[in-house]
Structure 1
Amino acid sequence: MTPAGMGLGATIVCLLAWAGLAAGDRVYIHPFHLLFYSKTSCEQLEKADVETPKEPTFTPVPIQAKTSPVDEAALNDQLVLAAEKLGDEDRLRAAKVGMLVDVLGLRMYRTLSETWSDPSGAVLSPVALFGTLASFYLGASDSTATQLQAFLGVPGEDQGCTSRLDGHKVLSALQTIQSLLVAQGRPGSQAPLLLSTVLGLFTAPGLRLRQPFMQSLAPFTPIILARSLDLATDPDLAAEKINRFMQAVTGWKMHRPLTGVSADSTLLFNAYVHFQGKMKGFSLLPGTREFRVDNSTSVSVPMLSGTGTFPHGSDAENNFSMTRVPLGGSACLLLIQPHCASDLDRVEALVFQHDFRSRMKNLSPRAIRLTMPQLRLRGSYNLQDLLTQAKLPTLLGAEANLGKISDASVTVGQVLNSVLFELKADDREQPVESAPQPAGPEVLEVTLNSPFLFAVYEREASTLHFLGRVVSPLHKA
């Protein structure tokens, strides 16, 4: 077996083992049956292959064409509305995809952590990562589709139609997963969360994209910006134009702007994610506080503080503690603090593993006064680099069969995921200094004033939305 096959096999074995643990003693049902094509759908696909005329295509407009700025509030409202219309099957399908997202996200986070290049920290969106690869799956055929399905964590079994992932169901489940994150439950129960995802597809002039493929991406995000520009003559200039365009339409300054566009690329696929959380019951402390980056370096940063009863646990053997803080609805923030800053890498490797969920369950409620930095983190990574590190450098390479994206041969260049992650106090809260201390048990002081890890987790679909490390808060590239 090739190294690539071994890597895919290991992922599938871990995933099925995890699914088996969740199933317990129940009658076995294939864990992903809700994500496969049904027999009826397969018959319709076979009929369409024979009778359907050639799919319509279009040429993306030039990148200099006028484009309206993204309305993030409207995107968030759409997700909230989608959450209100969910049925039982939608939620069950989301839980299945959430399990896949977690396994792939943790695996790719570990891969990414081997080559951290930013000393300030990093943040990864498993949902954006999974959604990007699922989007390519929708555009793939034959062996490329089979490899992508396996990489997403689902074995194809007999390779028949009813053992194939239905990419539309997968992206619909991702929409459900995103909507559950921002759903608030009881009105006024928590400060609102904001989540927005924007796709940018940049093509060489003349490349025509298939309309059905573009339409199928809508559940991942309704904002899909397809633009054309010269990628070959001056790749650095092309990268600069793309960066200016995306910053203009989103308003987000990119952490590590696109660079080094390959001159032979005909398609660049970029996903941009913005998350903003406001912590109910937390306020911004006056002035700034010291954050120890390492034994010899400190920076002054704004700090948040709040007191409440939060699930908490300490692992004395491995020298770290965990605290879980509600963010809104069923969303929560998990904070992992090494007792010694130099242990960050070791604790990161230990905690962000396949038993991550079980660790979250081993926490007990405790009265806590929590102080932590206000966060504004940016992270970017090229999925092509991650695939290379995962021993799959050709998965989206020149030989990939992506005929459902375009009639013409497609050469995929960089596949960028960019994240802007913000965490701040609820503007409606009063300053902490004036708040009375709660009565009852002794309040434990937990202060995150040295490097730590974090995760944003949504409990209903059991999905990790963000994973990251903080070495220097509010670092600005």
Structure 2
Amino acid sequence: ATLNAPQTEDSVSLLCFFLCLSPTVCDRVYVHPFHLFSYNKSSCEELDNLTQEEKMFVPISIESQTIPAYEENLKDKTKLGTQSSDTKRDQRLSYLKDLVHVLGVRFYGALKETLKGENYLLSPTNLYRSLLSIYLGASEQTAADLQNFLGFFPPSGDPDCTSKVDGHKVLLTLKTMDDLFLSSGADDLLSTKLSCLFSAPSVRLSESLVHSLASSADYFYARAVDFTNPSQAAELIESFVKGKDVSRTQNVLTNIDPSTTLLFVTYIQFKGKNNEASQVKELQEFWTDSSTKILVPMMSVTGTFQYKRDDSKNFSVIEVPVSENALLVLVQPINSNDLNKIESELSLDPSSAWLQNLSPRHIKLSLPELTIQSAYDLQELLTNMNLSALLGKKANLTKISDANLTVGKVQYTPSLLRNTFTHVSCSLPLEVTLNKPFLLAVYEKNSKTMVLIGRVTNPLNSF
């Protein structure tokens, strides 16, 4: 068929219009979240070169009083930098926040089975960071298994470098979470992280790996320890940590295997100031179970807080700001419900039911004064989860050392010192008293990242 001139011009114009649209449509192609953290082709080539040039060093003895040269170098090389506030940063935060939540809930479930009836506390963000630290030193199948456990499943089965996650990108995003959480500009909430890598004498460690670990902690030390006398090694480590005056902890290192050549220890401490809360003058009743009560010191604060009472699921939630960017969430059973039922419904879904449908209420809140410390061996928890091979004796950790390593422990110790409240008001409030076992969680306000979660069964048992 033959087209006349006007029809041809219209067709050409329409064709040009769609050609102009084409680049815009192509720019909106879906990007799998995995690729926010994976290596690209160019970084894979750089990675190969870095692996060939890896530098090693031998840490000084834990009993030495000198400051090693490598520790001085760490001060100049430990800054991770910051991510600019852009779309990719926000996407990474949103994706990683969900992975942190899922991993935290999985470990919380393992603790629930291990420590029945006890207080326990864990920090999902810092737990995730500890496992990521091991991932940075892992190779081959161990690295692949840890990557999957951390929630990063490549969208295709292609085994090349681009199917691997760049742990440094993940580490930087975790640091961004920390910065958001602690960016209130005030000292009302303090968080301190101390990490130590203890290796057997003469074991060489990767310089770049140590720099990466140091960049994610407030304090980091690498020292050599003789593990053939486990009790003496534990005493030396405890004395060393206390000497740094960043974590006043009890001796939590037990049952060290004398064949150990590597031990990774992390201490996390959260501390709040009670600017507006007041101590209740007399000791108050706290029911550890339906038939047992104890007398405990309590504190009280009055203010307008987010609150809900869910009579269908039989729990109440109160959300209390503890700093400009941190929220304390307190959950307790109601209507004869018990904590075990609430915990069993703790969802792997990051959009926790705890944070939904809250509304402001004027409340007088009373709760026990709390100092909680917990200590966990991640290897033991993984064994309880039927995942002992992840950090077992056959784990490939050649990016940490060129020696044949035996990981004795990956010790993780979070602690919460005191309660923190900031709001005060004067009108007649709803009275809410936490006088029986309850759950607590701390979230970053904007992203709703779960930073801390724990159970309080007996406020008098701090450890």
Q: TM-score, normalised by structure 1?
A: 0.82
Map of 1:386-397 to 2, 5 A cutoff?
386-397=381-392
Report what 1:108 is aligned to. Answer: 107
The 1:255/1:335 distance shift into structure 2, 3 A limit, reads: farther
For residues 432-452 of structure 1, what are the alpha-carbon distances to aligned partners after superposition, in whole Å with 9 as ceiling and x for unaligned?
xxx8622xxx63211001110
Q: Do 1:306 and 1:369's aligned partners in 2 also have CA atoms closer than 8 Å?
A: yes
Answer yes or no: is 1:211 the counterpart of 2:207. yes
In structure 1, stretches of 5+ residues that fail to align are 1-25, 69-78, 430-434
Within 2, Cα distance between the matches of 1:342 and 1:241?
46
Cα deviation for residue 414 of structure 1 reads 1.1
> Which of the numbers 434, 437, 441 marks the counterpart of 2:426?
437
The 10-residue stretch of structure 1 (136-145 or 310-319) with the greater mean CA deviation from structure 2 = 310-319
Paired residue for 2:197?
Answer: 201
Q: Measure the CA separation in 2 of the matches of 1:82 and 1:195.
A: 19
Instruction: Please tell me the residue identity of whatever aligns with 2:238.
Output: N
- Residue identity matched to 2:97: G
Q: 2:147 aligns with which of 146, 149, 162?
A: 149
For the pair shown, which has the larger CA radius of gyration, 1 or 2? 2
Matches within 5 A, 1:380-419: 380-419=375-414
Distance 1:56 1:164 in 2: 23
Instruction: Give the direction of change, closer, same or farther, for the CA distance of 1:395–1:351 in structure 2 (3 Å limit).
Output: closer
CA distance in 2, matches of 1:177, 1:280: 25
Amino acid at match of 1:210: S
Residue in 2 aligned with 1:162?
Answer: 162
The code of the aligned residue for 1:34 comes to: L
Residues 296-354 of structure 1, C-alpha deviations (whole Å, 9 max, x = no match): 43333332212222121112122211111111122101100112677111111113542
- Are 2:436 and 1:450 aligned? yes
The whole-number CA distance in structure 2 between the counterparts of 1:325 and 1:452 is 15
Equivalent residue, structure 2, for 1:135: 133
Q: Which residue of 1 aligns with 2:224?
A: 228
Contact preservation (8 Å) 2:60, 2:223: yes
Residues 67, 176 of structure 1: CA spacing in aligned structure 2 closer, same or farther, 3 A cutoff? farther
Name the SS of the counterpart of 2:142 in structure 1. Answer: helix
Work out whether residues 81 and 172 of structure 2, in 8 Å CA contact, stay in contact via their aligned partners in 1: no
**Which residue identity does 2:125 align to in structure 1?**
V
1:240 aligns with 2:235: yes
Greater CA drift, 405-414 or 340-349: 340-349
Per-residue deviation, residues 138-161 of structure 1 (Å, max 9, x unmatched): 101111110000000011332322
> What SS does structure 1 have at the residue aligned with 2:352?
helix
* Matched-pair contact (CA < 8 Å) for 2:196–2:220: yes
Matching of residue 344 in structure 1 with residue 342 in structure 2: no
Match among 173, 188, 203 for residue 192 of structure 1: 188
Tell me, in whole angstroms, the C-alpha distance in 2 between the residues paired with 1:115 and 1:378.
Answer: 16
CA contact (8 A) 1:312 1:364 kept: yes
Greater shift in the superposed pair: 412-421 or 276-285: 276-285
Q: 1:125-183 deviations in whole A, cap 9, x for unaligned?
A: 11121111111111011111100000000113323222211011111111111121111
Matches within 5 A, 1:195-344: 195-232=191-228, 234-250=229-245, 252-255=247-250, 257-278=252-273, 281-339=276-334, 343-344=338-339
Match of 1:462 among 418, 426, 448: 448
Shift of 1:251: 5.2
Q: For residue 97 of structure 2, what is the aligned residue in structure 1?
A: 98
Contact 2:137 2:397 in 1 (8 A): yes
Aligned counterpart, 2:45: 43
Structure 1 contact 106–354 (Cα < 8 Å) conserved: no
Give the 4+ runs in structure 1 shifted more than 6 A.
none
> Matched residues in 1 for 2:336 and 2:410: separation?
33
Percentage of matched positions with identical amino acids: 41
Shift of 1:281: 3.9
Distance 1:134 1:355, change over 3 A: closer
| Alpha-carbon offset, residue 423 of structure 1 | 2.9
Offset at residue 364 of structure 1 (A)? 1.7
Alignment partner, residue 55 of structure 2 = 56
Q: CA–CA distance in 1 between the matches of 2:223 and 2:444?
A: 34
Counterparts in 2 of 1:251 and 1:140: CA distance versus 1, 3 Å: closer
Task: Report deviation, 1:284.
Answer: 2.5
- 2:456 aligned with 1:475, yes or no? no
Distance in 2 between residues matched to 1:464 and 1:192, nearest whole Å? 19
**Corresponding residue SS for 1:61:** coil
1:346-367 deviations in Å (ceiling 9; x for gaps): 1111135425524312212222
In structure 2, what residue type is equivalent to 1:242? I
Q: Is the 8 A contact 2:41 2:162 kept in 1?
A: yes
Amino acid at match of 1:115: T
After superposition, the Cα gap between the structure-2 partners of 1:86 and 1:420, relative to the gap in structure 1 and judged at 3 Å, is farther
CA root-mean-square deviation: 2.6
Q: Which runs of 5+ in 2 are unaligned?
A: 1-27, 68-77
Larger mean CA deviation between 324-333 and 35-44 belongs to: 35-44
| In structure 2, C-alpha distance between the alignment counterparts of 1:58 and 1:333, rounded to whole Å | 43
8 Å CA contact retained: 1:239, 1:260: no
CA distance in 2: counterparts of 1:278 and 1:48, whole angstroms: 45
Cα distance in 1 for partners of 2:336, 2:267 equals 31
Secondary structure, aligned partner of 2:64: coil
SS in 2 for 1:269: strand
What is the DSSP-based 3-state SS (H/G/I as helix, E as strand, rest coil) of the residue aligned with 2:388?
Answer: coil
SS of corresponding position for 1:368: strand
Counterpart among 29, 32, 36 of residue 30 in structure 1: 32
- Structure 1 residue identity aligned to 2:426: Q
Matches of 2:373 and 2:439 in 1, distance apart?
15
